[in-house]
Amino acid sequence: MSNERRLRIPGWTGSGEMRPLRSPYSGEELAVVEQAGPDALDAAMAAAHQCFWGETSRTPGWRRRERLEKAAEIMEGEAEDLARQIAREGGKPITDARIEVTRAVNTVRLSAEEATCFGGETLPMDKAKGTEHRIAFTVREPIGVVVALSAFNHPVNLIAHQVAPALAAGNSCVVKPASQTPLSAIRMVEIFRESGFPEEAVIATPCPGAAAENLVTDERTKFLTFIGSDEVGWRLKAILNPGARFSLEHGGEAAVVLHESADLDRAVPALVKGAFYHAGQVCISVQRIYVAAPLRDELVRRLVEAADRLTVGDPTKDGTDVGPLISTSDQKRVNEWVREAEARGARVLLGGGTKPHQCHEVTVLADPPADAKVVSHEVFGPVVSILGRPRAEDAIAEVNRSRNPFQAAVFASDVDAAFRVARGINANAVVVNDHSAFRVDWMPFGGRENAGYGMGGVRYAVEEMSREKLIVLNLVP
């Protein structure tokens, strides 16, 4: 078959199960992708381990930088093809897919810069008598084999964030793509290889989630980077090879507080984008809006009108704002949560139902109970809830009920109020006068407490994926 995607694992000559990959919107078969079984995963780890000690850990920073710069050039040259692949297999609207590719190119370029910038520091050695004849300094070294378990919602840029910093630091990398979007990840791995990295330095291993646990428990794994649910992430951490380091990026029930001084002309377009971008399938998507009483009626009117103008449909067509959910089970789950909230007193202001092709209507709810799933759990769908709270202090308390403090936002023209709310919210990041899903690729990014562990963002990822060594010179004559 012309659409077969066979594994390219150095040292492995077996054959694995072939699984069809279908478009979440049209249902058409996009490819048949070979799956890595235990023997293929072992071969991938063996090749990556040998490559780390034999080559990548010894490759100078300038060469790593050149290879990553070349990868960015290749990506730029086929940006439209990558965007179309994202839209077809992941259901992200093509306009947003193009933006994702642009960001991914930037992520790889930022990683190229870091390849020659990260390093250690000198330590003063004259703080106590008898040590003044020594010189001490640290150097940063690559950590080893990085295992990257990725997610479907940003299939190009997430691979860029997990793999490019690993390569920049001098590691090798074994990538387990999201099962729903393996083609984008496979192409990214091919691009890194085409840019000059050895085949053994970056290996794609499409496989079921259960099989990927072999990578996590493998003693050759020195760093795990995982993007997905908190339930899976913490379970993987529990079985991770002892001594390996890790970063876990989970999701949250991102909240936005609208202070009574908020500018609705500024807030409403941002809230609509933050809530319904990629059908809400973003870990920091706007899910809960706590609005001051004086603004509530006007916010409801404007938000519903703006959301109702969004076009739900074919993600490969220009003009589509909201595409399908990634699976029929997710479509069913999201709708069940909406129905549950409605049964418990929430008012459906807009949408609330399913649509053909795995789509869900853009949905705006008013006042669901605090323990309804659309409030207390990550929806990961095109659903936003408006909740009135008379005082900012009450809104902060409600925001902080979340068990997944990741990223939040506040809209306020009153600077003092904006800072009070931002300081009061329990989250790793609070965005002022923009939606909670705002991110640029060089900023620190990650959840706290149950929402994750470790920090993403290119420079921070390079630091996570390297380790510090102290060297002390005794210069006593």
Judge whether residue 2 has pLDDT over 80.
no
Beta-carbon contacts of residue 214 (< 8 Å; ≥ 6 apart): 38, 41, 42
If asked whether residues 26 and 102 sit together in one domain, one would say yes
CA distance 410 to 23: 37
If asked whether residues 439 and 463 sit together in one domain, one would say no
Q: How far is CA 338 from each of CA 106, 200, 367, 381, 473, rounded to the nearest angstrom? A: 37, 47, 12, 10, 65
Confirm if 287 and 254 have CB atoms less than 8 A apart.
yes
168 belongs to a structural domain? yes
pLDDT mean across residues, the chain: 95
User: Considering only CA atoms, which of 450, 449, 396, 441 is closest in space to residue 419?
Assistant: 396
373 belongs to a structural domain? yes
Q: For the chain, give the number of residues.
A: 477
DSSP state of 35: P
pLDDT at 358: 97
pLDDT tens, residue by residue, 368-383: 999 999 999 999 999 9
Alpha carbon 148 to chain centroid, angstroms: 12
The percent helix, strand, coil of the chain (3-state, each to 5) is: 40, 20, 40
- What is the domain-level CATH number for residue 80? 3.40.605.10
If asked whether residues 178 and 142 sit together in one domain, one would say yes
pLDDT at 285: 95
Judge whether residue 367 has pLDDT over 80.
yes
Across 108-126, average pLDDT: 93
User: Considering only CA atoms, which of 118, 141, 144 is closest in space to residue 65?
Assistant: 118
CA distance 387 to 398: 10
**Among residues 51, 173, 207, 283, which one is catalytic?**
283
- What is the domain-level CATH number for residue 385? 3.40.309.10
Retrieve residue 425's tokens.
């919210």
If asked whether residues 134 and 237 sit together in one domain, one would say yes
pLDDT tens, residue by residue, 281-333: 999 999 999 999 999 999 999 999 999 999 999 999 999 999 999 999 999 99
If asked whether residues 277 and 356 sit together in one domain, one would say yes
CA distance 121 to 318: 50
Q: What is the pTM of this model?
A: 0.94
Q: Catalytic annotation on 51?
A: no
**Among residues 249, 361, 378, 463, which one is catalytic?**
249
What total number of domains does the chain contain? 2
Judge whether residue 132 has pLDDT over 90.
no
131 belongs to a structural domain? yes
Q: Catalytic annotation on 359?
A: no
Alpha carbon 411 to chain centroid, angstroms: 24
If asked whether residues 262 and 210 sit together in one domain, one would say no
pLDDT tens, residue by residue, 16-70: 999 999 999 999 999 999 999 999 999 999 999 999 999 999 999 999 999 999 9
Query: Looking up tokens 């959910």, which residue turns up?
Result: 325
User: Considering only CA atoms, which of 377, 384, 388 is closest in space to residue 361?
Assistant: 384
326 belongs to a structural domain? yes
Retrieve residue 99's tokens.
């933006």
Neighbours of 333 (CB within 10 A): 17
∠ at Cα 176 (446, 204), nearest 5°?
125
Judge whether residue 476 has pLDDT over 80.
no
Burial of 365 (0-12, 13-18, 19+ CB in 10 A): buried
274 belongs to a structural domain? yes
Confirm if 272 and 307 have CB atoms less than 8 A apart.
yes
Beta-carbon contacts of residue 224 (< 8 Å; ≥ 6 apart): 146, 147, 149, 216, 236, 237, 240, 244, 245, 246, 247
User: Considering only CA atoms, which of 431, 387, 385 is closest in space to residue 411?
Assistant: 431
If asked whether residues 180 and 318 sit together in one domain, one would say no
If asked whether residues 49 and 195 sit together in one domain, one would say yes
Alpha carbon 365 to chain centroid, angstroms: 26
415 belongs to a structural domain? yes
If asked whether residues 199 and 262 sit together in one domain, one would say no
If asked whether residues 90 and 111 sit together in one domain, one would say yes
Q: For residue 391, what are the domain limits?
A: 255-443
53 belongs to a structural domain? yes
If asked whether residues 240 and 312 sit together in one domain, one would say no
pLDDT at 1: 40
If asked whether residues 218 and 323 sit together in one domain, one would say no
477 belongs to a structural domain? no
Query: Looking up tokens 């979340």, which residue turns up?
Result: 402
Backbone angles phi, psi at 250, to 5 degrees: -100, -155
Judge whether residue 131 has pLDDT over 50.
yes
